[in-house]
Amino acid sequence: MNRTIVLLALIVWPASWKSEAAPIRPPEQEEFARQRDAMVTRQIARRGVDDPGVLAAMRAIPRHRFVPTDEVRRAYNDSPLPIGYGQTISQPFIVAYMCQMARLDSTSRVLEVGTGSGYHASVMAQIADTVYTMEIVPQLADRARKTIASLRYNNIVTRMADGYYGWPDAAPFDAIVVTAAPEHIPPPLVQQLAEGGRMVIPVGHPFLTQYLVLVEKRDGRVRSQQLMPVRFVPFTGGH
């Protein structure tokens, strides 16, 4: 019996410790800026992402604001992090690489399917004209909307809806970024891709090595290209 109580105490202690994350103070902001700089240099630029716009955006966006409080100290680690509801915030390099592959510029209209934490949308918003981002999990959509609002990004439009159908009112899009792996590419997304547009999408099975696929629409015909092995959270909803 005593053993059980000790065991329960051991379990409860780390749980309570997790929920007591201290607020971030200004000196810590400087430390985060330093970590961000190191992240871009070591994890992103060194692996071949060389688009200046993308690198600048990755340096600018405070990734630690998009992760749960108990993950803040790992925010700039070279790994994905859980954000709740079975979803993750992608590895920094993957975010940068997808942005580079989408070939965003200041005139791009971008659709993101799977807002998640809102981090990827924020990075793209630093580069593109407008980012339309959709999330189907209400809790995630609400949290991301609040985070984005608190950071005062005014070129991000959020919507809580099934990304499968895309955003017909705002189509066509120069780029579509799908941040979770679908089993098939939804036909509405293909339809909403502008001629010459690029869709970046992860492919593969949950918890398996996946690879990025670039889907391009040229002359009305859809073609794809395997880019590189990565890992993602599976596409919510579509099986």
Partner 1 sequence: MDTRPPARDRLLPVLLVGLSFFLLACEVVLLRILTYLQWYHFAYLVISLALLGFGASGTLLHLFRPFWLRHHERIFTLTLLLTGIAMAAVKPLLAAVPTESFLVVWQPGRLWGLVLLCLTLFLPFFCGAFGLIVVFSAAPQRIALHYGANLLGSGAGALGGLLLLYRWHPLDLPPLLGLGTGLLGLLSASSAWLRERRSSAKAVLPVYPGLGLAGLALIALLGWAAPLKPSMSPFKAFSRTRLMPQTEVLLERSSPQGVLAIVRSPTLRSATGLSLSFQGEIYPQAVAFLDGNPLGPLPLLDDTAATSPLHHTSFTIPYHVRSFSSAPDKPLVNRNRKSMRVLVLNAAAGSEVHQALMEGADSVTAVVRNPVMLQAFDDLIEAKIITTTVYRDPRVRAITAEPRSFLYRDTGRFDVVMIPPTGGVVNAAAAMQAIYENNLLTEEGVAAILRRLSPEGLLCITTWLDSPPRRLLKMFGLLVAASESLESEAAVYPGAHLAAIGSWNVATVILSRRPWSPGELDRIHQFAANEGFDLLYLPDGSEDEEAITYHQLADTSLVSDLAILASGITSREVLPSPFHLTPPTDDRPFFHHFLTLRSLSVMRNTLGAAGVMLAEWGYVLLWITLALLLVGGVALILLPLGLSRHSFTQNEHGVRLARRSLSLLYFGAIGGGFMLVEIVLIQKLVLVLGDPVFATAAVIAALLVFAGAGSMLSERLARAPCLLVPCAVALIIILLAGLFGSIVYFASAWASLAQGSRLLVVIAALAPLALVMGMFFPTGVRWLNAAGADHLIPWAWGINGFAAVIATPVATIAALNLGFPAVGALGAVCYLLAAAVSFRWWARRQTNQPVPPASPIPNSHQGK
Taking residues 145 to 184 in sequence order and writing x for each that binds partner 1 by CB under 8 A, - otherwise, the string is: -----------------x-x------------------xx
Between 53 and 84, CB nearer to partner 1: 84
Query: Per CB under 8 A, which region of 108-116, 127-135, 168-176, 221-229 contacts partner 1?
Result: 221-229
Question: 120 with 179: CB under 8 angstroms?
Answer: yes
Q: Which of 42, 46, 74, 146 binds partner 1 (CB under 8 A)?
A: 74
Q: For partner 1, which is the closer residue by CB, 33 or 38?
A: 38
Cα torsion angle, 96, 56, 134, 107, sign? negative
Determine what percent of the chain falls in helix, strand and coil, rounding each to the nearest 5. Answer: 45, 25, 30
User: Judged by CB under 8 A, which of 82, 129, 130, 172 binds partner 1?
Assistant: 82
Which H/E stretch holds residue 87?
Answer: strand 87-89
Among 108, 126, 179, 236, binds partner 1 (CB under 8 A): 236
Determine, following the binding rule CB under 8 A, whether residue 194 of this chain makes contact with partner 1: no
What gap in Å lies between CA 71 and CA 191, rounded to an integer?
38
From 61-69, 83-91, 94-102, 117-125, give the range in contact with partner 1 by CB under 8 A: 83-91
85 binds partner 1 (CB under 8 A): yes
| CB within 8 Å of 202: residues ≥ 6 apart | 178, 179, 180, 181, 210, 211, 212, 213, 230, 232
Instruction: Using CB under 8 A, count the residues that bind partner 1.
Output: 59
Q: Tell me which residues in 195-214 interact with partner 1 (CB under 8 A).
A: 203-209, 211, 213
CB-CB contact of 189 with 113 (8 Å): yes
Q: Which residues are catalytic?
A: 90
CA atoms in the 13 A half-sphere facing the CB of 57? 28
